[in-house]
Each structure stands twice: as C-alpha cells, then as structure tokens.
Structure 1
C-alpha cells in the first residue's frame, strides 16, 4: 500500500483508483484500476460487519470539506431499515462503523447520498418514495439533523452540479433538479426547471469527467447523456440493468450491471470498462463502481 489512503482526483488517465460497493461482504473497497483486485490490492476499505441496517452498501462518493479534508459519504440497508453515513478518511486505511463522524437511520431504503458544499446540506435518496434533507448547526457533520422530507417516487440518485448550482435527482421515469435555498439548518430544496422524462427506472447520475457540461444517467436499460445547460437528452448505450455508469477524464467508461434481474442480488462480480479489460472479484456482489475523486464535474 503506497499510503494510508489514496489522494482523490490525482489519478493518471491509465491508472486511476476505483471504489466499489460490495454487498456480499458489506464492504466498500478502493483499488487501482490496473490491479487484480485481490485482498492484497485494497488501498482503503470501510467494513460494516453486515449489522442490521448496515448490510448491502449502495453508495460511495468522496467530498472535500474545510474541516476534515476528504470525507466518504455512504448508504446501506434493506427495505425498511437502512443507514446514511459519513466517515473521515484522513486517519486510517481500513475503517469501520467505529470511525464514523455521522450516521442516520433511513427507513425508505437509501440508495444514494450527496453533500452540497457551502450550505453544509446532505441529501439522501430513499428509493421507496422520498428525499431526506439534513442540515447541520455548525461545520461539524455530527450536528446534521433532518430538516426537510420531499416525496419522490423511486428516488435512486442525487448529484450536486456545482457549475449551475443545482441538485439533480433521478428515480422512476424522471430526472429533476432542485436549487438549495438557505444554509445549515435553514436549508431547503426547491424545484427548479422542467423535468426530463426517461424510459425506465432511473438508477444513477454521475458527471462525465471527459465533458464537464454533461451528466451521465442510467435507467433500467439505457445510459443517457444530459446537457446540463439545455437539458437535452441523448441515448448513449443500451445495457442490461446498469447500476452505475461514469466516464473518466481520459475518456474511458466504467459501469456495473445486474447480471440476473430475477434473483435477490443486485450486482455481479465484474466491473466493466470500455477499454483495457474488465476487473472481476470472485464471488463479489458489486452494486456500484465509482471513480475515487472529490470532483463534481
């Protein structure tokens, strides 16, 4: 291991770092893109112990803060019992629930989490039917408290757009945007702009790091490019049940799929890449794969 934890955003085009949500073992793992993804190749990990409400990690993303530096934002759970959580990444390479700086019980099956810089706001997508908005009373994430709940059927993904000051959300057949009014405990989401209609159940929103004005949205069978300025939607690919899709600044695409939509497992052992070969971790159940970066675009 070259350091206690990798440096977000410092990846070279041919060998960047990838984080996966591994649902069989209840772990989030960070690997080099070009490694073999064996246990000895793990750069950073978060382990839940598969405690009730902490099983099935669904989301991992990395965000910068003035107080803590890089934080990892995560969601976990099963229908009716889940958690949203934040952990400080500055200390150790392998962390557990004992290292959390904040967590909250989310019973609406949380699939995604985002932090809005400046406002201190955290938004969690409960995939059953709602968005949960948390505001802090200070710069300490431990003070986060739920301040707003919005109905949003099948909310699966949220992403902050720092270029346009908007929160993008997808779920069901809708992509929707919100502005954030107020800060801290006064933070509130307000709908902004027209909805965009997609064909299937929206599952993921990520930046296209090779085209900063573009977002990538995955639904049940498609991947779309969304122009953030015009809201124009273009179909990029047809895939079987994509769970995550992103493109590195160097142009390489990375995605995960559900290889068997008929069973109770929502991922397989393989992360797919548009070039350079896929990566497989034997017996893993990988829901999402994320670039290890704190960048929003």
Structure 2
C-alpha cells in the first residue's frame, strides 16, 4: 500500500509545471520583490526542484528548474543509485555554477547549472553507506558524508568525471560537510561530534587530517551550513534542536535571533538567505506518509510558510547566486 501511495504522489509531483526562465510571481507576502529561489530534494518524484520563494509559486506548483539523472544527461548508468535524494545545494567555482547533490541510494554528483546536461563528476559511492551531504572543494575534488557508512570521503573529482579514488575519515553518523574558505578546513558533522579536517596531499592523492573535534550538545547531528556574513558561525541541527556554533569559542548556542521560530526537534535542513537574512527550515511533519519528510517549509524574518501539498521534501535550501 505504501508503495502504491508513493507512486500516486510521484505522478502528481511529476506533473509540476517547469518554467526555467520565468521570473518569480510576486506574492502579497513578498512585498513586490523577488526573494530568490528555494531548492528541495523531492523524494516522491525523485527529483531536485527549484521554485521561486513565494506562496503563489508554491500554491500553483510552478517550478523554475528540475533535475534527475537520466540518459539525456549521461547518467543513466547511475540512475539506480538515485533513491531518496538527500542533499542539494548551489556552488560556484571558476565562474561556473553547480548543483551539488546526493541520494541515499549511493548517488553523488556535481552538475553544471542551469544546463544540467552532464556531470562535472558523478559516482555511486555505495547505497548501504547512505550518503547525506556533498561539498565541492577549491581544488575541484568533492567531499561526501555518509551516515550509515560512518565516513567522510574526498573523491578525486579533479582527476576525472567518474573518478572513484578517495581518501577517508571515519565519523560515526556523518551527515554534513561544509568547506570553510576562511580557515581552509572542511567541517563535518556526525552523530556526536563536529570536526574540522584539513585537506592535504595533492588533488590526485588527498589526505584528511583531523584538526579539531567538538562534542555536539545533543545526539543526532544532522544538518551543517554556513551563516552568511557571520564567518565565525555555523548552523548545526540535531535530533533535539537548532544551534549556532562559534568556531572561535567552540560553543553551541540556542540564544540567537529568531530561535523561538527556528529551534525545534528533527530539523532536517536550515539555511540563511544571503540577500535578505530570511531563514529557511524543513523539519519532520507529523502524520506525513514519509516519516522523515514534510510538504511545508518554514521561513523566519519575516515569518511565513510555503506548502507544496503532497510533496515529500527532505531538505530545502536557499538557491541564490
């Protein structure tokens, strides 16, 4: 029964209209301005979707851009590992923009945006490992965190589109990776610890070395994201709540602006709009058919909700660039 219901939901979500070049439709709550877009990992239809950040677009199911691996983008051989998309974010390198995406079935890729017609790098890193997060490094290599596998790896993507050579750091419940250009380290979040890793060696033979490890204040580290214009801070979510971590003090705080709206259990993703400061979160929705998903995301500063009824959203992030 669950499989049938998921199939019906997927068909409905797959019917979303795509207007890749259309501007955002102004909504009353948007004060007449384009606040940018939001990217979601939509697990029912198994697609990455980018939607304008206004109620009208979500209500009318207007999608600016959609992506999944297939024959047209040269990734048909990896499509079997594209189950339960687990991460999506925008990165820039060398004047080019990329979708960074992973899926619990083992898929990980860096895809040129908006073309989406090929992969800078792609691999099946192993379905049993359950990859949850991905990051593009300055040298062109790619970091991947896998929760069930309990590892953070740096793949030598700089050496080839399908390179599977990697170096590995063991981290229980690895869920998040973020590159810190200011400190030149890779931050990684696991079940019990937030670690800073230096990436040494060469692009062809990278080496990961732990520089720092800080216990998280509650078990189940999940999402890890930078705080724009606040280089000392990182967003950290756990099973219990949402924190800001100070790299200088090593402390985790729940006493930040907007905590009453943002801080709650089981937040799967958190990010800040670098233009407006508006904060976006996605958390487990009670009663949802998918027990780790939602069809509604929350905003703070100003407060709002955006609902894509019937969707299976795992993570939602600002898509600004």
Report the count of equivalent residues. Answer: 277
Distance in 2, matches of 1:291 and 1:147, equals 29
Q: Are 2:39 and 1:19 aligned? A: yes
Q: Which structure would you say has the larger Rg?
A: 2
Q: Would you say the 8 A contact 2:36–2:320 is kept in 1?
A: no
Distance in 2, matches of 1:102 and 1:232, equals 36
SS at match of 1:99: coil
| Aligned partner of 2:91 among 63, 68, 90 | 63
**TM-score normalised to the size of structure 2?**
0.78
Q: Are 2:185 and 1:166 aligned? A: yes
| Aligned partner of 1:267 among 279, 293, 299 | 293
Higher percent of residues as strand? 1
Partner of 2:21: 3
Q: Are 2:265 and 1:240 aligned? A: yes
Q: Would you say the 8 A contact 1:135–1:183 is kept in 2?
A: no
Partner of 1:122: 142
Spell out, residue by residue over 1:173-202, the C-alpha distance to the aligned partner (whole angstroms, 9 max, x if none): 211110111331121111012423321200
SS at match of 1:155: coil
Range 229-238 or range 108-117, more displaced: 229-238
Partner of 2:316: 289
Partner of 2:233: 214
Spell out, residue by residue over 1:39-87, the C-alpha distance to the aligned partner (whole angstroms, 9 max, x if none): 7621111124794320111101111122x7111110013xxx4111121
Deviation at 1:89, TM superposition (A): 1.2
Gap change, CA 1:211 and 1:137, over 3 Å in 2: closer
Gap change, CA 1:82 and 1:4, over 3 Å in 2: farther
SS at match of 2:85: coil
Q: Are 2:126 and 1:87 aligned? A: no
Range 106-115 or range 225-234, more displaced: 225-234
Spell out, residue by residue over 1:78-126, the C-alpha distance to the aligned partner (whole angstroms, 9 max, x if none): xxx41111211143xxx4xx63332111221000001111x22211101
Partner of 2:16: none
SS at match of 1:100: coil
**TM-score normalised to the size of structure 1?**
0.84
Which runs of no fewer than 5 residues in structure 1 stay unpaired?
Answer: 7-11
Distance in 2, matches of 1:202 and 1:126, equals 12
RMSD (CA atoms): 2.7
Partner of 2:62: 41
SS at match of 2:224: strand
Higher relative contact order (CA 8 A, sep 6+): 1
Higher percent of residues as helix? 2
Gap change, CA 1:15 and 1:84, over 3 Å in 2: same
Partner of 1:9: none
Deviation at 1:137, TM superposition (A): 4.9
